[in-house]
Amino acid sequence: MLLLIWLQQVGRKKRIMSKFGNYIQEAYDELVHKVTWPSWDELQQTTIIVLVALIIVTLVIFGLDIVSEKVLTMVYNILGK
């Protein structure tokens, strides 16, 4: 009886490992054969676009921070007197 249970567990483990191996193989095949990777020029262009957008968003947030600091300082000075 114990041998039968043990053999069933071994069989389950083999099936799980087989499924995992199939998953890895299919993922590799998809990455190599089905995915369209950008060219080097496209990659550089999109990187520049992302960096420019990052700089713009950073400047906007910095500007909002400065404006809110000035407004709150003015409000605190008015209420504090």
Q: What is the pLDDT of residues 11-64, one digit of tens each?
A: 777 777 788 888 899 999 999 999 999 999 999 999 999 999 999 999 999 999
Number of domains in the chain: 2
Q: Say whether both 51 and 77 belong to one domain.
A: yes
Q: Say whether both 9 and 48 belong to one domain.
A: no
Q: Say whether both 41 and 19 belong to one domain.
A: no
Q: Say whether both 17 and 49 belong to one domain.
A: no
d(CA 63, CA 48): 22
Q: Say whether both 23 and 43 belong to one domain.
A: no
- What per-residue confidence (pLDDT) applies to 11? 73
d(CA 28, CA 31): 5
Q: Say whether both 62 and 80 belong to one domain.
A: yes
Q: Say whether both 49 and 80 belong to one domain.
A: yes
- What per-residue confidence (pLDDT) applies to 80? 81
Range of the domain at 44: 37-81
